[in-house]
Amino acid sequence: MTTDLSWCDLFIFREADRMLLTHPLALLSLLLVVHASSPLVSPSVRHEFRRNLPSGWTPVRRAPSTSVLPLRIGLVQPNLDQIETLLLDVSHPESPNYGQHWSPEKVASTFRPSKHSVDTVRQWLYSEGIAVSRVKLNGNGGWIEANVTVHEAESLLMTEYHVYEHADTGTRHIACGQGYHLPEHISKHVDLVTPTIHFDIKLKREPIGSEKRDHGAKPGVGKSIGQPGSGVVIPKTTGFIKHILDELSQCDQFITPNCLRALYNFIYVPLAANKNSYGIVEYTPQAYVPEDLDLFFTNFSKSQVGQRPDLVGIDGGFVQSSQIGFGFNGESNLDLQFGMALVGKKQKITLYQVGDDVEGASFNNFLDALDASFCTFEGGNDISQDGIYPDPFGGYQGPEDCGKVKKPANVISTSYGYNEADLTPAYTARQCAEYAKLGLMGVTVLYSSGDFGVAGNGNLCLNPDGSQTGDGKLFNPSFPGGCPFITSVGATQLNPGANVTDPEVACEQVIFSGGGFSNYFPIPDYQKEAVDSYLTNSPPPYPKDIWNSTGASRAFPDISANGANYVIAVNGEFSLVFGTSASSPVVGAILTAVNDARLAIGKTPIGFINPTIYSAGFRDAFNDITSGTNPGCRTFGFNATEGWDPVTGLGTPNFPKLLARWILLP
Ligand SMILES: *[C@@H]1O[C@H](CO)[C@@H](O)[C@H](O)[C@H]1NC(C)=O
Ligand SMILES: *[C@@H]1O[C@H](CO)[C@@H](O)[C@H](O)[C@H]1NC(C)=O
Ligand SMILES: *[C@@H]1O[C@H](CO)[C@@H](O)[C@H](O)[C@H]1NC(C)=O
Ligand SMILES: *[C@@H]1O[C@H](CO)[C@@H](O)[C@H](O)[C@H]1NC(C)=O
Ligand SMILES: *[C@@H]1O[C@H](CO)[C@@H](O)[C@H](O)[C@H]1NC(C)=O
């Protein structure tokens, strides 16, 4: 936040102009009154700004002043400075409190913004003419919300709203491009305000033709968000089918659930399925096709024909069926077909379908739904925990507004991502803290690491001024890959001609495993030794200014799994897909089995796994990947090496070894 008085002055000028036109004397007296009523008036500060718009966006016109915006003010949360310590306390294998996850109520009360923050921001809104009845505090007390007109928002935030349009997709978005302001005495109670400078919307391509079919082959920014193997779908042929009759001998060409079981020694029958849960997140209009699930199951998991995921729709989320095609169904079909087949018939999968098919949604919509659950939590941990451990922080206990996700799943996999540079540091920090809260509650949060090697989605690289272009030269890390409180999953492959028992290498077919070093997040303790050792033993020979070479930033991915040649059913045909999009749900299925085994013997879920998987005891529980690279930004990218590397992380899971170790933890 930089102080920027000129904006404040400018604003007063504009107001003055308008009022002078109507009644010059009224203005003079008003200004005097306002100044007399200090401390309500304080200098304005520029609260957030961005140097560049995310790639592809341009302003097309001023936003109509009467348009209504769902203004949300994210309040500063207490105790966030301790969140890493608190999370390690329940997640580090050597901590005496390992596995003693928090109840949602304890999480909510620990980080609930103070009553003082709530009151101060509310008073400011009232004093600016937003009626009391229009101002609401959300369920966990973290956001103040009000529907305001563009005119009101411009006045509150001393900015101008424009309509922006995305060149490749035609998607429109209202934002105040460069920055916004808050009075100084409000700024210190606020993390961020939306919608302002954040372009966190999911890009949608315009459906092609009247049947709304999408044969999407056009490369572009939108295409690569959450798309498995963008634009490289190989439709099935009759010859193709004959070739995978002997599955295991052809895993180098066709990955099926049996190939993955063979690769990771993943044979497991659930014992505690009704206590366990595995959630897969999809963003509308991405949707699975029920008939495709059955087609896939008919070939690869017969007993599951007819089985469906349990749908939890968030913010209007439903399984839309009006738009079909690979671009609309590929991702969801991939995640669910492999996720469901790998956990097997006994273990139900929860599908978190986020957003309606008009507006779509962002990660924050999903996180809000989990947050709202803080008040309705019933299963898992002991609800009396609050009584046993009274809230030591004395947070504000406002009325609670209960949401529909009663208890988040134990493992949640998401195969969508942004480039870190698309988002502002304040925005990513707030979202990253939400992942830490999920970790405190014992949830494992997995994200695919991206499909463009050291480049970002859409093969974009950074320029020194922070903009992203195809000809940029600086490595472009993904988000939330760089958030230290999620587990980032990269991609591997079997080399052409390799036997399923041969070692895998980094994925170099069609996609390259996303990996590198964050420019926003410092390195977490759990990762220091692994990253130091990589930088010492295999120092990348690149100029220090094309990647974050400080050794002080969060590095990713953490682990990896096969991401090449997945056989999936899409719109009645089998296709081959590629991507870290495939790797993440596979790792999720394996960790769900580990949770099952622990739950079956009365232990807690594994929760936030990073401190554990980087610990000495787990060092040889992965298949280390030591060959292959992740090119991007006109370089060869990084090398997969012995030990952790920014291509495949610690390696792929060796299920029996991981299970044996996790069973022994308290
Ligand atoms: C804003 O308007 C929407 C749509 O009418 C409504 O659902 C929502 O509850 C309103 N929000 C607030 C904070 O009043
Ligand atoms: C699916 O099963 C059918 C019937 O057994 C078979 O003809 C076809 O080749 C299989 N397809 C694939 C991709 O394995
Ligand atoms: C893979 O190699 C092993 C050991 O050499 C061999 O026993 C097995 O038959 C091979 N598997 C396939 C599917 O070719
Ligand atoms: C590198 O990462 C660190 C820690 O995340 C950050 O403070 C620094 O600004 C980054 N450097 C660049 C050039 O972005
Ligand atoms: C990768 O390994 C090759 C061969 O050893 C080496 O020439 C190259 O510099 C390494 N690249 C990086 C980024 O470490």
Contact partners, residue 95, CB within 8 Å, separation at least 6: 88, 89
242 versus 394: the higher-pLDDT residue is: 242
pLDDT above 90 (res 658)? yes
User: Among residues 39, 57, 38, 26, which one has the least CA distance to residue 199?
Assistant: 57
Q: Determine how β-strand 172-175 pairs with β-strand 162-166.
A: antiparallel
Residue 419 and residue 553 in one domain: yes
Number of domains in the chain: 3
Could you report the per-residue pLDDT of 119-128, keeping only the tens digit for each? Answer: 999 999 999 9
CA proximity to 618, closest of 585, 584, 665: 665
Tokens of 348: 């139900």
Q: What is the dihedral sign for C-alpha 108, 113, 118, 121? A: negative
Q: Are 175 and 197 in contact (CB under 8 A)?
A: yes
* Ligand 1 atom at minimal distance to the Cα of residue 145: 13
Same domain assignment for residues 476 and 621: yes
Do 31 and 52 lie in one domain? The reply is: no
Q: In this predicted structure, what is the pLDDT of residue 317?
A: 80
Q: Are 146 and 134 in contact (CB under 8 A)?
A: yes
Residue 144: nearest ligand to its CA?
A: 1
639 lines ligand 5 (CB under 6 A): yes
How far apart are the C-alpha atoms of 38 and 239, rounded to whole Å?
79
Task: Let me know whether 270 and 385 are in one domain.
Answer: yes
Residue 259 pLDDT > 70: yes
Cβ partners under 8 Å of residue 539, min gap 6: none
User: Residue 129, class by beta-carbon neighbours within 10 Å (0-12 exposed, 13-18 middle, 19+ buried)?
Assistant: exposed
Burial class (CB in 10 A: 0-12, 13-18, 19+), 634: exposed
pLDDT (tens digit, 9 = 90+) per residue, 386-444?
Answer: 222 222 232 223 233 334 456 899 999 998 888 999 888 998 999 999 999 999 999 99
Q: List pLDDT tens digits, range 305-324.
A: 999 999 988 777 889 888 88
Closest C-alpha to ligand 3, atom 14: 249
Q: Are strands 468-469 and 461-462 parallel, antiparallel or unpaired?
A: antiparallel
Distance 312 CA to ligand 2 centre (A): 32
Are 342 and 476 within one domain? yes
- List active site positions: 331, 335, 581
Q: For 18-22, 254-258, 368-372, 593-597, which range has the lowest pLDDT when averaged over its residues?
A: 18-22
Average predicted confidence (pLDDT) for the chain? 82
Of 5 and 88, which is predicted with more confidence? 88
Question: β-strands 461-462, 349-354: how paired?
Answer: unpaired
Q: CA-to-CA distance for 639 and 644, rounded, in angstroms? A: 10
- Answer yes or no: is pLDDT of 234 > 50: no
Res 469: pLDDT: 94
Interatomic CA distance for residues 40 and 44, integer angstroms:
11
CA–CA distances in Å: residue 373 to residues 105, 154, 283, 369, 438 = 9, 33, 20, 7, 11
Q: pLDDT (tens digit, 9 = 90+) per residue, 154-168?
A: 999 999 999 999 887
643 is in an annotated binding site: yes
Give 249 Cα–ligand 3 centroid separation in angstroms.
Answer: 8
- With respect to residue 341, please indicate whether it lies within any of the assigned structural domains: yes
Kindly state if the Cβ of 496 falls inside 6 Å of ligand 1. Answer: no
If one residue of 69, 125, 147 were mutated to test the ligand 1 pocket, choosing by the most ligand atoms within 8 A of its CB, it would be 147
Cβ atoms of 141 and 117 closer than 8 Å: no
Q: Do 168 and 241 have their domain in common?
A: no
Ranking 62-76, 85-99, 220-234 by mean pLDDT, the lowest is 220-234
Of the two residues 260 and 174, the one the predictor is more confident about is 260
Structural domain boundaries enclosing 184 = 44-77+112-194
Q: Which atom of ligand 4 is nearest to the CA of 550?
A: 1
How many Å apart are CA 577 and CA 565, to the nearest integer? 5
Dihedral of CA 324/325/329/333: which sign? positive
Mean pLDDT, to the nearest integer, of 598-623? Answer: 97
Domain presence at residue 312: yes
Supply the pLDDT for residue 247.
Answer: 84
- Whether 496 and 380 map to the same domain: the answer is yes
Tens digits of per-residue pLDDT, 551-564? 999 999 999 999 99
If you measure from the C-alpha of residue 496 to the centroid of ligand 2, how many angstroms do you get, rounded to a whole number?
A: 22
| Protein residues whose CB sits closer than 6 Å to any atom of ligand 2 | 241, 244, 299, 567, 574
Does residue 533 share a domain with residue 616? yes
Question: Is the same domain home to 313 and 370?
Answer: yes
From the CA of 545, the nearest ligand is 4
| Ligand (nearest to CA of 524) | 4
Residues 573, 636: contact at Cβ < 8 Å? no
* Ligand 2 midpoint to CA 150 (Å): 56
The reply to whether 223 falls in a domain is no
Judge whether residue 220 has pLDDT over 80. Answer: no
How far apart CA 461 and CA 422 sit, in angstroms, is: 12
* CA–CA gap between residue 76 and residue 81 (Å, rounded): 11
Name the residue with tokens 């769902």.
Answer: 70
Residues 571 and 547 in one domain: yes
Whole-Å CA distances, 665 to 215, 527, 530, 618? 48, 20, 22, 11
**Whole-angstrom distance, CA of residue 648 vs CA of residue 57:** 32
* 452 and 406 within one domain: yes
Ligand 5 center from residue 540 Cα (angstroms): 7
**Does the Cβ of 499 fall within 6 Å of ligand 1?**
no
Task: Specify the residue with its C-alpha closest to ligand 1, atom 6.
Answer: 147
Q: Is the pLDDT of residue 54 over 70?
A: yes
One domain for residues 261 and 365: yes
How would DSSP label each residue in 76-114?
Answer: --TTGGGHHHHHHHHHSTTSTTTT-PPPHHHHHHHHPPP
CATH number of the domain where residue 621 is located: 3.40.50.200
Q: Any known ligand binding at 625?
A: yes
260 inside domain: yes
What is the predicted pLDDT for the residue at 315? 73
Band the pLDDT of 590: cuts 50, 70, 90.
very high
Q: Does 23 fall in a domain?
A: yes
| Probe target for ligand 4 pocket from 461, 553, 554, 556, with the most ligand atoms within 8 Å of CB | 553
Residue 206 resides in a domain:
no
Q: What is the mean pLDDT of residues 79-101?
A: 97
Residue 217's pLDDT is 29
370-387 pLDDT tens trace = 765 444 332 222 222 222
Q: Is 146 touching ligand 1 by the criterion CB < 6 Å?
A: yes
Query: What is the secondary structure of 502-560 as a DSSP string?
Result: SPPEE--SSSB---EEEEEEEPPHHHHHHHHHHHHHS---S-TTTTTTTS-EEEE--EE
Strand order through the sheet with 573-577: 234-235, 573-577, 566-570
Q: Is residue 452 part of a domain?
A: yes
Q: Is the CB of 502 under 6 A from ligand 3?
A: no
Using the atom order of ligand 1, give the atom closest to the CA of residue 147.
1
243 CA from centroid of ligand 2 (Å): 9
Pocket test for ligand 5, best of 636, 642, 644, 645 (most atoms within 8 A of CB): 636
- pLDDT of 355 > 60? The answer is yes
Evaluate whether residue 85 is within a structural domain: no
274 lines ligand 3 (CB under 6 A): no
What is the pTM (predicted TM-score) of this model? 0.86
Q: Which atom of ligand 2 is nearest to the CA of 241?
A: 9
Report the pLDDT value the prediction gives residue 40, as an integer from 0 to 100: 53
Q: Nearest CA to 571 among 302, 304, 340, 330?
A: 330
Q: How far is the CA of 501 from the centre of ligand 3 (A)?
A: 7
- Band (pLDDT 50/70/90 cuts) for residue 41 is low
Query: Is the Cβ atom of 195 under 6 angstroms away from ligand 5?
Result: no
Mean pLDDT, to the nearest integer, of 450-476? 95
Query: Which residue has its alpha carbon closest to ligand 5 atom 14?
Result: 540
Please state whether the peptide bond connecting residue 39 to the residue before it is cis, i.e. omega within 30 degrees of 0.
Answer: yes
How far is residue 597's CA from residue 595's CA, in Å, rounded to a whole number? 5
